[in-house]
Structure 1
Amino acid sequence: MDNLTHAALGLSAGVVVARKGGSLPAAAVAAFLAAEIPDIDVFIRSADDPLSSFRWHRHFTHSFSFMPIWAIVCAGFTAWLFKWINKPGINWKELIIPSFVGALTHLLCDGCTSYGTMLLWPFNEIRYAWDCLPIVDLFATLPLLILTIIALRKSSKKIAALGLIWFCSYAGLGIYQHARAEKSLRSWLNEQKISPERLAVKPTISNLILWRGVWLHEGEWQVAAIRVLPFTDTLIAPGEKRLAWTLHSAGNPPPGSEGEKMIRDFTRFTQGWNAYSIKESGILIGDIRFAMLPDGARSLWSVYYGKKDKSYPGSQVADVMMDRQVKEADWTHLKELLLGEDKNYQKVN
């Protein structure tokens, strides 16, 4: 999730597990640092590897096996920091548990989102994604942040615990809503006589009402917006379609080429959720799981293989393309989907 949420979770956890008679501020700082440090992987970049940010984000730095290292580093640094600001007498060993718990909040929080986190590296390289929380959700973060600030001002473990209880309860609601959305989508597909080969349901930004459904059927990906509101009928709006990419798709790079290697690495990251479209000067292979609109098939990130442009006389190139463009009409459409006013909505029996 976003770093503000990680910070609030770390601080609250640090206050809750602070040793009785120890320094509560030091415990909070140690847990805060440990809750932020896994994202140090955002600095892993390579000019020669456009996929490095995808490959290394939420990789080994986000694994359970790396948590003891973060705990020791953050505990030691916090003890040194307090000594440096003339507050000696803090034993770094007393900060191990707050640091460990702070790192744990980061890993579990990221696991609740859709991006995928290698929690069990190096034992496996599966990206675990429980799909119950958006990357950014004000309804999860703001109450937690307010309670965290109050807890720090009052040095109150109870208020800090309330913040953690709120966040966990919200995540629990996300699990429930995700299950409802997936069940409704499968029921609707059954009504349409569609047997999906693969299916996923993802949350959309800052809410647990509107979800993105994606499924594979007869060589095509299709997406749909799913509106799940308590005490009302579930609504599904079928969206766009894209061809599924395969090793035999037209325009693929030759075996052993840089383009083929990039697409292979990209496919490992996407776990095969690859959409395929032919452009005038090449092909675009996108991660169909993620898009700006719940019912849109315009992937947030893709690999392009082809000429730089249709008039480019040189050889084929491969590059990563990002698409975060949102037009005014997109905001209007998103609002209609969220409020249940979209004309394409169908009730699920």
Structure 2
Amino acid sequence: MDSVTQGLLGAVMAQAGAKPTELKQATVIGFIAPQLADADVFIRSSTDSLLTLQFHRHFSHSLLFIPLGALLAALLLWPFFRNKIAFSRIYVYSLLGYATAGFLDALTSYGTHLLWPFVDQKIAWSVIAIVDPLFSAVLMIALLMSFIRVRPSFARYGLLVAGCYVCFGALQQARVQQHIEALALTRQHSISRQIVKPTLGNVVLWRSIYQSENHYYVDAIRVGMFGDITVYEGAAAKVFDLKADSKKLPSTSVLFNDISRFNDFSDGYLIWMPSQVDALGDIRYAMLPQHIAPMWSIVFDSNKPSQAVTVKTDRHLSKQQRDMFLAMLLDQPINTK
């Protein structure tokens, strides 16, 4: 989730468990503590562009790391609060704030290594978007009401409403999954695996990717508040097979290792980039929900297996694409071709 929402949830959680006399301190501590979990973005290398992708939302977001992460946050914040509240209370509010980091990111489509080191795989429930203004607004209102009125009960009500919103997102996701399964049958497709995730800023317009045999099929699905559904049919792309498509590369080479790492990062959802040579993309993410052009990709030279890959990111949206996204969100007809 974005850092502001991460801080808001941490602050509201700390407020909910605070004594009224310590509520203002709890708010600040709870807002700052979960930000420490995202310090993993500084794990990077000038010679290994995959390192940041590999370790972002990794061990610092795991359940096992919460007590240690909260302790580090408390130690950093102690000089600023030592004359106001005891260290034990700073730690409690740091713990409440930091504990939200992994759970919040697991609710999104990017996911997090919540069960590391026992399960070295990201958990992504994909029930709310990475940035969701409505979810953030609920937390902001709860935080301000609790802070101004000095009443933890407002924070608790805010957490309840935010929880209801997450549940609504899960309901919307289930509706999309059910519809896609029926749609696949009409296409005579057998789904071997599937991802359904919300688009940026809402739980109305969703991106669906499913695999049938050796192809991925992408669609945008709009689910109205009362369950009415509109499908914006996307395209198909051939599945990248690590073993078959990399058989010419030495298994001990730098290039093969980097492709394997990117394949692990994408949970195997790799395709050859459209109209490009020696480029692989993560089909799970795209700027438009019905498009196959991935947001993240790696480029390389297959004739130079000793060279590392380069990570490319495409977050550009043209005006035409923005208009198309808005039209789908508002359930207006568009030309998806």
Aligned equivalent of 1:3: 3
Once the two structures are superposed, residues 90-143 of structure 1 have per-residue CA deviations (whole angstroms, 9 ceiling, x without a partner) of 211123322211112121111100112111111121200001010001111123
Match of 2:311 among 313, 320, 323: 320
Matched, 1:294 2:289: yes
Aligned equivalent of 1:56: 55
C-alpha distance in structure 2 between counterparts of 1:279 and 1:298, whole Å: 10
Ranges in structure 2 where 5+ consecutive residues have no aligned partner: none
Amino acid at match of 1:46: S
The DSSP-based 3-state class of the residue aligned with 2:278 is strand
Q: Residue 27 of structure 1: CA displacement?
A: 2.2
Matched, 1:333 2:324: yes
Q: Residue 344 of structure 1: CA displacement?
A: 6.6
Matched, 1:263 2:284: no
Q: Residue 304 of structure 1: CA displacement?
A: 1.4
C-alpha distance in structure 2 between counterparts of 1:274 and 1:268, whole Å: 10
The DSSP-based 3-state class of the residue aligned with 2:298 is strand
Amino acid at match of 1:331: R
Aligned equivalent of 1:19: 19
The DSSP-based 3-state class of the residue aligned with 1:117 is coil
Deviates more, 1:233-242 or 1:200-209: 233-242
Contact 1:298–1:323 (8 Å) recurs in 2:
no
1:1-349 equivalences in 2 (<5 Å): 1-19=1-19, 23-83=22-82, 88=83, 90-246=85-241, 247-249=243-245, 253-277=249-273, 279=275, 282-306=277-301, 318-343=309-334
C-alpha distance in structure 1 between counterparts of 2:227 and 2:266, whole Å: 34
Q: Residue 73 of structure 1: CA displacement?
A: 2.2
Amino acid at match of 2:256: E
Once the two structures are superposed, residues 281-304 of structure 1 have per-residue CA deviations (whole angstroms, 9 ceiling, x without a partner) of x32211111100000001010111
C-alpha distance in structure 2 between counterparts of 1:171 and 1:252, whole Å: 46
Ranges in structure 1 where 5+ consecutive residues have no aligned partner: none
Contact 2:22–2:85 (8 Å) recurs in 1:
yes
Amino acid at match of 2:119: N
Contact 2:127–2:198 (8 Å) recurs in 1:
yes
The DSSP-based 3-state class of the residue aligned with 1:8 is helix
Larger radius of gyration: 1
Q: Residue 317 of structure 1: CA displacement?
A: 6.3
C-alpha distance in structure 2 between counterparts of 1:276 and 1:200, whole Å: 19
TM-score, reference length from structure 2: 0.92
C-alpha distance in structure 1 between counterparts of 2:211 and 2:128, whole Å: 23
The DSSP-based 3-state class of the residue aligned with 2:196 is strand
Q: Residue 150 of structure 1: CA displacement?
A: 2.5
Once the two structures are superposed, residues 8-47 of structure 1 have per-residue CA deviations (whole angstroms, 9 ceiling, x without a partner) of 1111111111136x52222222222222110111111111
Once the two structures are superposed, residues 28-70 of structure 1 have per-residue CA deviations (whole angstroms, 9 ceiling, x without a partner) of 2222222211011111111111001111101000011111012
Amino acid at match of 1:5: T
Contact 1:245–1:274 (8 Å) recurs in 2:
yes
The DSSP-based 3-state class of the residue aligned with 1:64 is coil
Once the two structures are superposed, residues 205-227 of structure 1 have per-residue CA deviations (whole angstroms, 9 ceiling, x without a partner) of 11111000001123111100011
Q: CA RMSD in A?
A: 2.3
